[in-house]
Every structure is written in structure tokens, then in C-alpha cells.
A and B are shown apart, each in its own frame.
Chain A
Amino acid sequence: MTGVTIQADIAVATLAAAAIVLALGILGRRHRSAAAPTGIPLLWEMSVEAADRAARDVPAKARDRVSGTAVTLFWFVAVANWLHLIPGSPLPAPTSDINMTLALAVTAMGVVHITALQARGLRGYLRHYLSPWWLAPAKILEELVKPLTLALRLFGMVFASALMVVLIGEILPAPVALVPHVLWTVFDVFIGAIQAFIFALLTVLYFQAVLPSGATATAAKVTHA
């Protein structure tokens, strides 16, 4: 008998990652504006500034949404990637599960297309995909593939990383495995940040691909999410 399958550990890890990101967001939000930021607020400001810079070519009205989505994706993916690295954490990295990465990719692409619809209007949005008409199938296929590639890239990297940890533990004896395990953990931190950055950056590029250029934007119709 097959019922609804829910992976409790992944779901709990996702909720934990969400809680951590929200807590970090509250920490970043509480900083006084007059003082120079340090620590978590500084990291937030750096990421927001980087996202704003990456999104400077999209129409002004959509810029905040693009930048906000990119920042959220970066922090959420980074925290999810690093969740299993917290010492003593029983939770796995939720991004090592296809449900998580696919949910992120589908949501991100959903926001991309909603923003494009608001910016271009239905007719402009359709014209974007139907001109030239003979390329329409390829364009539609590309849009269907984009969330899959986003999801599979992240999933593959984090899954492989988790697999490496298991392999190191299984193949090498415990005293010998310590050093490779520590080295791989450090590398995992780096890979987690890079993957989060790539996911956010690709999302911004997807936004730019479907939105009109900043100069000819009809994005006045776009309202904040």
C-alpha cells in the first residue's frame, strides 16, 4: 500500500534551515542604521549589495524583487547546505534531497515567470516566447529544463558531498578517517557557499533573460511581491 510519503528528517531540517534564516534575518534587521555593521548584519548587507549589483540590469521596478529573491535563495541554500556541518547536528543537509532542491528551483522559476508576466503583460510575455515562432518549442523546453538543471546541480553536489563523508567513514578506519573527514568538511563549507551563490546567480540570470532590459522596461506594472 502506497500512501503519502514524507521524509521527516528532511522536512525537519528544512524547517530548521528556514528558522535559522529567519532568525539571521531578524538579527540583520535589528542593526542600528547609524553604526557601521559587523558580523551578521554586515554579511546581510554584503549579500544585499551583491544581489542589487547583479540585478542592476533588470527593470527598476522589478529590481527589488529580483534582488530579494536572490538574497533569500543564497542564505537559504547556504544554511541548508551547512546544516549537517553544525557539530552535533542530527539533521541532514536538506539540499541533499531532491524534494528540497526541486522545490527551491520550481519556486524560483515561478517567481521569475510571475515577474515577467507582470513586467511584460500576457501578450508581451507570450510574444517573448513565440518570436520567432519556430524557436518557440526550444524556448519552452528551455524554460522547463531550467528548474530541473537548477535542482539537479545543487542536489548532485550536496548529495555527492554527503556521499563522500559516508565513504570516508566506511572505507577508512576511524583514526585515519579523521583527517580526510576534517579536510572534506572544510571543503564542504566552501562548496556549500559556492553552490548557494551559483543558485542565486543563475536565478538572477533567468530573471534577466525573461524581463525586458532596464532601459525599455515596462515594469511599472510590477508590484512588490
Chain B
Amino acid sequence: MLERRNFLIPDATFVIEMVAFVVVLVVMTRYVVPHIRERMHERQRRIDEALAGVRDADRRRHEAESAAAAVRADARREAGRILAAARSMRDDLVAEGRRTGLEEYRWLAGRADRDLQRRTALAREQLTRHARTAAIVATRNYVGPDADADRISGLVDEHLEALVPGQAPAAERGHVAS
């Protein structure tokens, strides 16, 4: 006759169940779960390292960008300084050129003026001398050899002085007469 069992009362199966679970529990907590946890931590460590690498690269990129910006700013400042110096130099050179040109112009103009005066004086002297000579020769041919050379020269000088004042070379009269 089958004995009816109360399903709420444990029997000897309980021991088998407990032993089986304890074995599983020991194996899992000793060999499986720690290994899985270690693997997860290892992966997390690698992810953290990769993220740290990314953050480091990002930081270095920011530093490089800051350095590049600083270099650009320095270059702009230096370029501005060089440009200002070049402009200043250009202005100095233009002023110096103008000054030098003006001095050169003045020097050349003065020299030309002096040369003109010298040539004018020489031409006047030659003209006076030729006029005296011509006047003396003409007068002596007409009047005779006794014509006074100094007087003729004086007359010529007076006429020439009337034509161009202050240009008569009176000192050479005797030389022409002789």
C-alpha cells in the first residue's frame, strides 16, 4: 500500500539537494564568479586606460592648440612690429632721399649758376677785349697811329657799361693798347 506523502514535509532528498547546492556554491564562488569578476575588472581597467589615453591625447591636443595660438599671436605681434619698423625705415629713407636730392639739386644748381656766371664773365671779357681791339684798330686806321688807346678803351668800356652795367674789365685796357 502506497504511503501518501505530505508535500510540505521535507525528506531525505533534502540532504541530496543541499549537498548538490553546496557543491555548486563552492565551485561557483571559488572558481567561476571570481574569474568572471576579474575578467570584467581587467576589461574595465583596459577601458579606463584607453579613456585615460584619449583624455591625455585630448589634453595634449588642447595644449598644442594653445601653443599654436600663442605662436600665431607672437608671430602676428612680430609681424606688426616688423611692419611698423619697415614703414618707419621707409619714411626715413624717403625723407633722407628727399633731403639728399634737395641738397644735390641745390649743389648742382649752384654749380651751374657759378659756371654760367664764369662763362658769362669770360664771354664779356672776350667781347670787351675784342671790342677794344677792334675800336683801337679802327680808330688808328681812321685817325692815325696817334690815337689814344686808353681813351678809346675807356669809350668802349663806357658804352659797354651802359649796355651791361658793372661788366667792364678796366684793368686790361693797357694790355690791349700795347
Q: Which residues of A contact B (CB under 8 A)?
A: 2, 4-7, 10-11, 14-15, 18, 21-22, 25-26, 28-29, 31, 33-34, 41, 44-45, 48-49, 52, 64-65, 67-69, 71-72, 75-76, 94, 97-100, 102-104, 106-107, 111, 159, 224-225
Contacts and interface: CB of A to CB of B under 8 A. Distances in A.
6 contacts: A15-B16, A29-B31, A29-B36, A72-B33, A224-B29, A225-B26
B134 to A, nearest CB: 128
A48 B8 CA distance: 33
A195 B27 CA distance: 23
Contacts of A102: 10, 14, 17
A217 B24 CA distance: 28
Nearest to B44: A49
B18 A69 contact: no
B31 to A, nearest CB: 7
Interface of B: 3, 5, 7-18, 20-37, 39-40, 42-43, 46
Contacts of B29: 64-65, 68-69, 72, 224-225
Contact of A28 (B5, B32, B42): B32
Contacts of B12: 4-6
Interface of A is mostly: helix
Given A25-B32, A33-B42, A72 B11 contact: no
A76 B21 contact: yes
Nearest to B26: A225
